[in-house]
Amino acid sequence: MPEIKKASCLFCSFQCGFAMEMDAGVPVRIDLDTEAPHNLGSLCTRGHYNLELLVHPKRNLAATVNRRRVPWTTGVTKVAGKLKEIKEAGGGDALGVIVGTELSNEDYAATVAFAAALGTSNVAVAYDGNDYPFLMGGGGGDAVASDLDDADCFVLVGDVFWGHPTVAKRVIESRYRSRSNRIYTLNPYRSNTDWFADRHIVVRPGAEPLFLAGLLTAMNVQGAPKVDLNVAATAGGMVTEELQAIADGLKRHEKVVVMASSRLGDSMSGYLTGQLASMLAQKVGGKYAPLFRGGNALGAYNTISSARTVPELLADVSAEKIKGLLVFGPDILQLYPGAVSTDDLEGLELLAASAIFENDTTKHSDVGMPLAVWTEMAGSYTGSMGVETSIEPLTDPQGDARAAGEMLKDIASEMGAALAAGGATAAHPELAIDASVELARMAGQSHGDGVVLIESINPLHRWDGTITGRMSFPKIVSPYCDIWIGEEAAQRLGVEAGSNVALATERGETTIIATVTDRMPGGLVAIPSYVPDVRGLLAWTLNSATKWYDVAALGAKLTPGT
């Protein structure tokens, strides 16, 4: 009789529950957990990767020093020795720690304690996309999954169904429960989410906050930034009367849920979208439900202060202020391409990188440490929409792989330091942002004729590609990446459907297959940002106000290829 064990998925912040069929302690098949309270048994494509992730033959299994396999204790001794050396020479602030968003709350608590033991304030979370500005703007939200069942109106910002497919069933069921129920979507292009919308607001890319502020202004909400209704309506591709009608319509509903999906792009737009979406939900007496790309982004945010952010830490690495860097989880070279160079990483006295698979960052590391998958270690996780997850390990970690918290304890012990018990709540410094000024700036923007970054999220893939790039399923059903071009832009550029196009930016050039689609209005083009080659062409510039990256395809040109 096979044993069925329950676990949770950490590929996004909704943290879907699933079950695993085990045969003599070996995971053999995903079994869907229809008792999981928030996803009710549904699982998206990424959720099914959890099986392959556990049994993948190319996992990192052993510690490495200078790319040679070594026993675990040798790796720990090397890291501890170097950390001591750097600290004695340059003080605690010559050291830095970066953690990913798929670690457990216990790992984050251990990271804070480890940084305190090292005497450094350089601890930062490698949030993906605009997760960080979203969190700073709107916080973790107050909606819970069951709120979706009795909601009578949804405002969906971004391509919610594609980024977080498992919320789709509840939203669609609620919409069709009553004829008067409504779904409003804000999205620059016609996505599968918008297919279910009663009103798809084709907003100008990055101008989502402007339209949300327009709704708040039309509702005459006290304390909300005021904007010109004509400008806000134009940003939403409609006339002022329509915007007013939508605002009036929202006020008539009793249970509104405002859901926003984090994505790449302008960090200020992400921050204000979070802030204004949260405010809109509050003012109509509804609930705010942000959905993040990082599985435990909310747990990291609740535990680790954002006094220092990854862009600041990586700038310090480039400026040679940080000499020793520990990375747990993310592939920072692929996650933020161009933000830090390989030469900068090579120039560090110590780069210790821990990851599930070998990636670009681990290739340049002095010490590599195998990271366990979330289903191999016990831990608690904080999801969005009130989802609290506690995972019991399905199997023992493969090889020498282990949780980040355990590694930090081993290193601290080798250094002769003890980690204090965690549990403190992180404090986040206020960002000095004047919403009115930023909205006025957005009002003056237009996307013109150039290539505008619109992220075509693909549920088969996930951010830096180091995990989904290793999975067999996406390679079978989506063997090539494509760029989505609107019919108007394709005609203007002379691009034929299915042909190659050359995408060139200030950072380089790559060739992609073109999909000509009526989903992209006007001259818009959507770039598959999950593909590392394409991601590397984007400019990642630090926004001093949000302390996060603004991502754009600067100077992008498309030309028909061969």
Partner 1 sequence: MERGRQGTTLRESWMNKRNVLDYGRCISCRSCIAACYYSHNFQDQLEASTVVTNAVLQMNCRHCEQPLCEAACPQEAIKRRDDGLVIRSTNLCSGCTSCAQACPFGAIDLERTRHHMPKCDLCDWRTLESKETMCATTCVSGARTFEDVSDIEAQRGSPMRGSRTVAKTWRGKR
Among 8, 15, 42, 382, which residue interacts with partner 1 (rule: CB under 8 A)? Answer: 42
Paired tokens of 325: 């860097």
Does 486 contact partner 1 by CB under 8 A? no
Q: How far is CA 485 from CA 50, 266, 523, 538, 553, in A?
A: 33, 21, 8, 18, 15
Interacting stretch for partner 1, rule CB under 8 A, among 46-54, 276-284, 434-442, 530-538?
46-54
Report, in Å, the least distance between residue 23 CB and partner 1. 12
Report, in Å, the least distance between residue 196 CB and partner 1. 6
Interacting stretch for partner 1, rule CB under 8 A, among 87-95, 161-169, 238-246, 410-418?
161-169
Q: Which residue lies nearer to partner 1 by CB, 164 or 364?
A: 164
Q: How far is CA 111 from the centre of its chain?
A: 20
Among 168, 281, 339, 520, which residue interacts with partner 1 (rule: CB under 8 A)? Answer: 168
In the region spanning residues 246 to 305, those forming contacts with partner 1, defined by CB under 8 A, are none
Q: How far is CA 29 from the centre of its chain?
A: 27
Among 169, 199, 321, 447, which residue interacts with partner 1 (rule: CB under 8 A)? Answer: 169
What does the DSSP assignment read for 514-558? EEEETTS-TT-EEE-TTSHHHHTTSEEEEETTTTEEEEE-TT-EE
Does 193 contact partner 1 by CB under 8 A? yes
Does 43 contact partner 1 by CB under 8 A? yes
Residues 356/467, Cβ–Cβ less than 8 Å: yes
Please enumerate in sequence order all residues whose Cβ is within 8 A of that of 385, keeping only pairs 6 or more positions apart, or say none: 14, 38, 141, 143, 144, 145, 147, 289, 291
Interacting stretch for partner 1, rule CB under 8 A, among 35-43, 70-78, 206-214, 315-323?
35-43
Among 114, 127, 161, 189, which residue interacts with partner 1 (rule: CB under 8 A)? Answer: 161
Looking only at the bridges linking them, the beta strands covering 539-543 and 454-455 are: unpaired
Among 137, 138, 141, 165, which residue interacts with partner 1 (rule: CB under 8 A)? Answer: 165
Paired tokens of 160: 């919610």
Residues 334/364, Cβ–Cβ less than 8 Å: no
Question: 506-525 mask for partner 1 (x: CB under 8 A)?
Answer: -----------xxx------
Q: How far is CA 470 from the centre of its chain?
A: 19
Report, in Å, the least distance between residue 287 CB and partner 1. 21
Q: Which residue lies nearer to partner 1 by CB, 47 or 386?
A: 47
Does 24 contact partner 1 by CB under 8 A? no
Number of neighbours of residue 276 by Cβ within 10 angstroms? 28
Report, in Å, the least distance between residue 22 CB and partner 1. 14
Does 473 contact partner 1 by CB under 8 A? yes
Looking only at the bridges linking them, the beta strands covering 548-552 and 324-328 are: unpaired
Report, in Å, the least distance between residue 386 CB and partner 1. 19
Paired tokens of 344: 């900068």
Q: How far is CA 506 from the centre of its chain?
A: 25
Report, in Å, the least distance between residue 151 CB and partner 1. 16
Paired tokens of 179: 């004829």
Question: 356-385 mask for partner 1 (x: CB under 8 A)?
Answer: ------------------------------
Cα-Cα-Cα-Cα dihedral sign, residues 418, 422, 425, 428: positive
Interacting stretch for partner 1, rule CB under 8 A, among 44-52, 102-110, 433-441, 491-499?
44-52
Interacting stretch for partner 1, rule CB under 8 A, among 99-107, 111-119, 170-178, 278-286?
170-178
Among 7, 30, 123, 256, which residue interacts with partner 1 (rule: CB under 8 A)? Answer: 30
Does 172 contact partner 1 by CB under 8 A? yes
In the region spanning residues 196 to 225, those forming contacts with partner 1, defined by CB under 8 A, are 196
Report, in Å, the least distance between residue 217 CB and partner 1. 32
Interacting stretch for partner 1, rule CB under 8 A, among 47-55, 95-103, 128-136, 248-256?
47-55
Among 6, 22, 52, 77, which residue interacts with partner 1 (rule: CB under 8 A)? Answer: 52
Among 26, 29, 71, 149, which residue interacts with partner 1 (rule: CB under 8 A)? Answer: 29
Region at 158 (left for phi over 0; alpha for psi -120 to 50; beta for the rest): left
Secondary structure (3-state) at 124: strand
Does 184 contact partner 1 by CB under 8 A? no
> Burial code of 150-180, b = ≥16 C-beta within 10 A, e = fewer?
ebbbbbbbbbbbbbbbbbbebbeebbeeeee
Distance between CA 277 and CA 269 in Å, rounded? 12
Distance between CA 487 and CA 470 in Å, rounded? 33
In the region spanning residues 436 to 465, those forming contacts with partner 1, defined by CB under 8 A, are 459-460
Exposure on the CB side of residue 450, measured as CA atoms within 13 A: 13
Q: Which residue lies nearer to partner 1 by CB, 42 or 334?
A: 42
Residues 278/270, Cβ–Cβ less than 8 Å: no
Does 330 contact partner 1 by CB under 8 A? no
Does 89 contact partner 1 by CB under 8 A? no
Q: Which residue lies nearer to partner 1 by CB, 190 or 323?
A: 190
Among 550, 430, 443, 452, CA closest to 213? 443
Number of neighbours of residue 248 by Cβ within 10 angstroms? 11
Q: Which residue lies nearer to partner 1 by CB, 34 or 390?
A: 34
Exposure on the CB side of residue 200, measured as CA atoms within 13 A: 17
Binding-site residue total for partner 1 (CB under 8 A)? 37
Residues at the interface with partner 1 (CB under 8 A):
1, 29-30, 32, 34, 41-45, 47-49, 51-52, 161-162, 165-166, 168-169, 172-173, 176, 192-193, 195-196, 459-460, 472-473, 476-477, 517-519
